[in-house]
Amino acid sequence: MRPEVLFPLFAEIRTLSGVGPRIGAAIERLAGPKVVDLLWHLPTALIDRRFSPAIASAPDKAIVTIAVEVDRHVPAPNRRIPYRVVCHDGTGALDLVFFNAKGNYLENVLPVGEKRVVSGRVERYRDRLQMTHPDHIGRPGELEALKRIEPVYPLTAGLTSKPLGRIVSEAVRRAPDLPEWQDAAWIARKSWPSWHEALVRAHAPEEEAALLPSHPARQRLAYDELLANQLTLALVRRQRRGRPGRAIVGDKSLRKRALATFGFPLTGAQETAAAEIAADMESPECMIRLLQGDVGSGKTVVAFLAMLTAVEAGAQAALMAPTEILARQHFATVEPVAKSIGISVALLTGRERGANRGRIYADLASGATSLAIGTHALQQEAVAFADLAFAAIDEQHRFGVDQRVALADKGRSVDVLVMTATPIPRTLTMTAYGDIDVSRLHEKPPGRRPVDTRVLPVDRLNDVIARLRRAIGNGARIYWVCPVVDESETLDLAAATERHAALETLFGDRVGLLHGRMKGAEKDAVMARFSDGGIDILVATTVIEVGIDVPEASVVVVERAERFGLAQLHQLRGRVGRGERASFCLLLYGSPLTETARARLNVMRETDDGFLIAEEDLRLRGAGELLGTRQSGLPDFRLADISAHADLLEVANDDARLIVERDAGLATDRGSALRTLLYLFERDAVVRTVRSG
């Protein structure tokens, strides 16, 4: 059970005073539905109202707090002209300006002949100083109270600064003092405040420096979040490794025959990764390993060799991919080699039906089929294996944890290999997996050609079309990737459909269209025409980001490239350079470019190293956008900035491992406080699995 001391923080937002249905709905969209969500909604700027000059010396555009006397009201003759209240002090005049104002209200709060204190931004207009819609209006005795620093919070539609600031302040006042969960020596070394004090200070910044990730209060809160993350992963890892495993030892006979069939040697990185995976499988502990491989680095081959190890040991293996296109691509790579060495492989997606599906089910259940490749259809209740010992999950960030577990539960003590073609910086790998074992494929197989990357403004579209005509005349095949539009599948499809129609008027029926809403058979038909040369240009959404392998394709055009993440651009570029032809990637951008977008496109032009690109993406955009998709599988940190707090993540990782080694049941005094930390960051399910809990 969640500790009672935390109950006030996990009450609904609407239990805070002044939060009705409309404001409550806006806050839920912005921060979340619970009071604790507002604690994590930190200010991003501040307004300093301490500056209190005389009217005559008030600088243009400055935020000031001034005591004035009200002279007269000048009501607006019509809606297009603002209502003015003329005021003065001993040095000059100030006009208070209000649009769509209610005269009666203003006459009450700003009565003629009385003194008032106003605070807001002043500006010069026709040689007069004015303040439009003062942020605060008070009586003379409130001058000192108004001369303060005010935090500025991110907003959303239907929410303004003043009520949000007041509501956040109430949420912070609800925060209790909690027992210290951090190591005393570590806290002293960093000179960090307690959790409660850090929270109060973070929401009441006294200077610009207090908004930086390096400020002690922000560091403290970030480290708490990182420790909760790393401790969660360490506890889950310990529980998983505590399960009885099985040693999967093969005689290498199938692997040797497969290697002879490939017709090319493995790269050094592939050999190393294959050996690491084989060693894990031979261990009596359950394996969980991440295989990171850049575009075209040969992950499928490494996974296939591990699958053969399971078959050599008399068991079965499965490979699950997030899309039917990718599953069929893996099957096309694996099936010919498997067939040549006498191993049966089944492909199971949503498309297999009737008698064919029943036959696949029966052969997997009996053990007649050794290898299964498919989509999430593999984890359906009707699918049973005779003895599943190894499972590979490709593009793992597109699956939830539950889906990965569901496949592993099809067997006994299944060894799991998760794979991604999206290189993830080490710091982010740690946040998603803790100290999971990682194999990296840094090398590209022989024959992969470098891709010449060009960056062009979208207004040079006619030049691009002319270049494509020449390329098609020389036998090239071309991908044309349409822009991401507001991360909306409907709008993305509209963009692709519109571009397809435009290119069709220029190139006739030699242009195809591929998008995620097409049925499987339609996708296959379009891809087959493109592969066979029946169409020259394939217009597509990012559905081609992974799993498309057409060696004859040698040009990829990415329209409005500035809208894509670096990792996505790298994946899209990886669709070409797979054959004998010189290959090109044309990145078309819209103007004006932000500095970040310009830097991102420069990185694409300067390097094709996916791991370097991932590190640059983290540096330029932060962890939240790294994979160019919200379904990245990476934790959504509210307080920690992985690019700024990487050193704290390393310490949190070490601390979490030490905690689990010494007090896996979280039974000590610090362990009890750490349980509160886990509940505070909503890791309830993990606390329940702790042995003493």
CATH class of 50-147: mainly beta
665 vs 687: CA distance, rounded Å: 9
pLDDT value for 495: 82
- Per-residue model confidence as pLDDT tens digits over 319-329: 999 888 889 88
Q: What is the DSSP letter of 676?
A: H
Band the pLDDT of 685: cuts 50, 70, 90: confident
pLDDT value for 427: 72
- Per-residue model confidence as pLDDT tens digits over 364-400: 999 999 999 999 899 889 999 999 999 999 875 555 5
DSSP string, 351-411: T--HHHHHHHHHHHHHTS--EEEESGGGGSTT---S-EEEEEETTGGGS-HHHHHHHHTTS
The pTM of the whole model exceeds 0.75: no
pLDDT value for 449: 77
Band the pLDDT of 628: cuts 50, 70, 90: very low
Q: Measuring CA to CA, how many Å separate 278 from each of 161, 284, 307, 318, 386?
A: 58, 12, 10, 16, 22
Whether the per-residue pLDDT at 686 is higher than 50: the answer is yes
Share of the chain above pLDDT 70, in %: 91
Same CATH fold assignment for domains 50-147 and 267-441: no
CATH class of 267-441: alpha beta
* Token pair listed for 208: 């610009």
Averaged over 163-174, what is the pLDDT? 95
Please give the radius of gyration of the chain, using alpha carbons only, rounded to the nearest integer: 31
* Token pair listed for 636: 């959504």
Which residues lie below 8 Å from residue 205, measured CB to CB, with a gap of 6+? 43, 46, 149, 151, 211
pLDDT value for 484: 67
Whether the per-residue pLDDT at 154 is higher than 80: the answer is yes
Averaged over 243-269, what is the pLDDT? 90
Residue type, 546: V
Instruction: Let me know: does 76 contact 100? Beta carbons within 8 Å.
Output: no
Whether the per-residue pLDDT at 489 is higher than 70: the answer is no
- Of 107-116, 455-464, 559-568, 659-668, give the lowest mean pLDDT range: 559-568
pLDDT value for 400: 54
Band the pLDDT of 635: cuts 50, 70, 90: low
CB atoms within 10 A of CB 161: 14
- Of 77-91, 615-629, 678-692, give the lowest mean pLDDT range: 615-629
* Token pair listed for 377: 């259809």
pLDDT value for 92: 95
The domain locations on the chain are 4-46+155-204, 50-147, 267-441, 451-607
pLDDT value for 157: 86
* Token pair listed for 163: 């009520």
148 vs 167: CA distance, rounded Å: 18
> Average pLDDT, whole number, for the chain?
88
Residue type, 353: R
Instruction: Let me know: does 416 contact 245? Beta carbons within 8 Å.
Output: no
Whether the per-residue pLDDT at 339 is higher than 50: the answer is yes
491 vs 560: CA distance, rounded Å: 14
DSSP string, 213-228: TTSHHHHHHHHHHHHH
- 509 three-class SS: helix
Strands 511-514 and 451-457, by their bridges, are unpaired
The CATH H-level (homologous superfamily) assignment of domain 451-607 is: P-loop containing nucleotide triphosphate hydrolases (3.40.50.300)
Band the pLDDT of 479: cuts 50, 70, 90: very high
Whether the per-residue pLDDT at 485 is higher than 70: the answer is no
* Token pair listed for 130: 């004015």
- Per-residue model confidence as pLDDT tens digits over 533-549: 999 999 998 777 655 67
Residues in the chain: 693
pLDDT value for 632: 41
Averaged over 135-139, what is the pLDDT? 93
pLDDT value for 286: 85
Buried b (16+ CB within 10 A) or exposed e, 248-271: bebeeebbeebbeeeeeebbebbe
pLDDT value for 629: 33
- Look at 397 and 23; give whichever has higher pLDDT: 23
Averaged over 465-487, what is the pLDDT? 86
- Of 409-418, 600-609, 625-634, 640-649, give the lowest mean pLDDT range: 625-634
- Per-residue model confidence as pLDDT tens digits over 349-368: 988 888 999 999 999 999 99
- 292 three-class SS: strand
Strands 128-132 and 93-98, by their bridges, are parallel
pLDDT value for 207: 92
Residue type, 653: N
568 vs 397: CA distance, rounded Å: 13
Crossing angle between the packed helical segments 299-312 and 324-340, to the nearest 10 degrees:
50
Q: Residue 33 burial by CB count (10 A; 0-12/13-18/19+): exposed, middle or buried?
A: middle
pLDDT value for 692: 37
* Token pair listed for 443: 């090398």
